[in-house]
Amino acid sequence: MKLKLTMVVLVAAAGLSTAAPMDFDFKDPKGVNNAVFKLDAPLEAISGNATGISGSVSFDPAAPAATKGKIVVASSSLHLGNPMQLQHLKSDKWLDVAKFPEISFEAKELKNVKTTGDTTTADAAGSFTLKGTSKDITIPVKLTYLKDKLGQRIPNTKGDLLVIRSTFTIKRSDFGINPGQSEDKVSDAIELSLSIAGASAH
Amino acid sequence: MVSKTLRWLAFLIAVTALVSWAALGANRGWTKTSVPVKKTDEVTGITVDDYQKRFVPGLDLLGAAVFGSALLAGLSFFWDKKKPETV
């Protein structure tokens, strides 16, 4: 009888532990996490990426709607194929990466949550910060929970992975980046695409 | 003599620029010093553009070279004007 009771308690405890939210760290040792940016321009669209991703997201597979967290992109990790465009982009006239080293999005609430298997789609409402200016925006996100897959990426490690993907558009004028200027050369709209994976070791 | 050299130089610059541009990918965009190579993480399925150092001339560089050679060719015609003979 005592043994049965102990087992029930253990099973319940195990159930509770898996139901608790897990913290996923998005600093990727493989350097695959990336944010792609694209701006329309004459001759050719200005397109590049940033791989200096960090941040943490709290995710509960049993309650994905409660997901919260913050993703940070290091401005200095922005890269473009054309060195002159990259220099302009990082200069004080555009992003001023020396003064504003981080671009971030802090998700505060998930709306329209739909879960199918390991995949959840939702609209994440939160605060986007660029060049020191924060603005509340809502972006579509796709979360894929990969249980026990961390070991496949990083040998001798046990844990889960959380993949987040999102594509959305912001306006540079909303963040004080040369509003109303040079729009014939560089569009006001910036298309952003985020593809990141976080790890939660256990 | 100088005008002829200038014209030849202009021709050489234009041809070299055009051949180099075509040989290095005929890129109709901006000049690049690094190009993206797609890399995919098998576990997560995430694809990243891994930038590798490679010089790819674009239309901006080709245009500058052609403009420079046209300028040289134009200059050669002014050089060619014979000065009036003095008695």
CB contact under 8 A, B28 and A153: no
Amino acid sitting at position A77: S
Q: Which CATH class is domain A21-201?
A: mainly beta
Does this model's pTM top 0.90? My answer is no
Cα angle vertex B5, ends B3, B10, to 5°? 95
pLDDT for the residue A15: 46
Chain B, window 22-51: residues with a beta carbon less than 8 angstroms from a chain A beta carbon: 28-36, 39, 41, 43-49, 51
If one compares A18 and A123, the residue with the highest pLDDT of the two is A123
Contacts of A161 in chain B (CB under 8 A): 43-44
In the predicted model, what is the mean pLDDT of residues A39-67? 95
Q: Are A200 and A27 in contact (CB under 8 A)?
A: no
| B58 pLDDT higher than 80 | yes
Of A31, A49, A161, the CB nearest to B43: A161
CB contact under 8 A, B46 and A163: yes
**Tell me: the pLDDT tens digits for A127-178?**
999 999 999 999 999 999 999 999 999 999 999 999 999 999 999 999 999 9
The CA distance from A147 to A117, in Å, is: 12
Range in A3-12, A14-23, A61-70, A183-192 with the lowest mean pLDDT: A3-12
Q: How many CB pairs under 8 A join A and B?
A: 65
Q: Are B62 and B21 in contact (CB under 8 A)?
A: yes
In the predicted model, what is the mean pLDDT of residues B66-80? 88
Q: Can you say how many angstroms the Cα of residue A66 is from the centroid of all Cα atoms in its chain?
A: 16
How far from A106 is each of A51, A94, A125, B3, CA to CA, in Å?
18, 23, 8, 66
Average pLDDT taken over every residue of chain B: 91
pLDDT for the residue B84: 59
- Residue B21's nearest CA partner among B66, B53, B52, B51 is B66
**Tell me: the pLDDT tens digits for A122-132?**
999 999 999 99
**Tell me: the pLDDT tens digits for B11-38?**
999 999 999 999 999 999 999 999 999 9
If one compares A13 and B14, the residue with the highest pLDDT of the two is B14
pLDDT for the residue B78: 84
Contacts of A85 in chain B (CB under 8 A): 30
CB contact under 8 A, B44 and A83: no
- Asked if B84 reaches chain A (Cβ–Cβ under 8 Å), the answer is no
- Asked if A167 reaches chain B (Cβ–Cβ under 8 Å), the answer is no
Contacts of B28 in chain A (CB under 8 A): 43-44
ipTM: 0.84
pLDDT for the residue A12: 47
CB contact under 8 A, A163 and B60: no
- Asked if B52 reaches chain A (Cβ–Cβ under 8 Å), the answer is no
Could you tell me the residue ranges of all domains in chain A?
Answer: 21-201
pLDDT for the residue A202: 87
The CA distance from A163 to A56, in Å, is: 12
| A16 pLDDT higher than 50 | no
Question: What three-state secondary structure class fits A1?
Answer: coil
pLDDT for the residue B28: 94
Q: Tokens 């014939």, residue?
A: A184
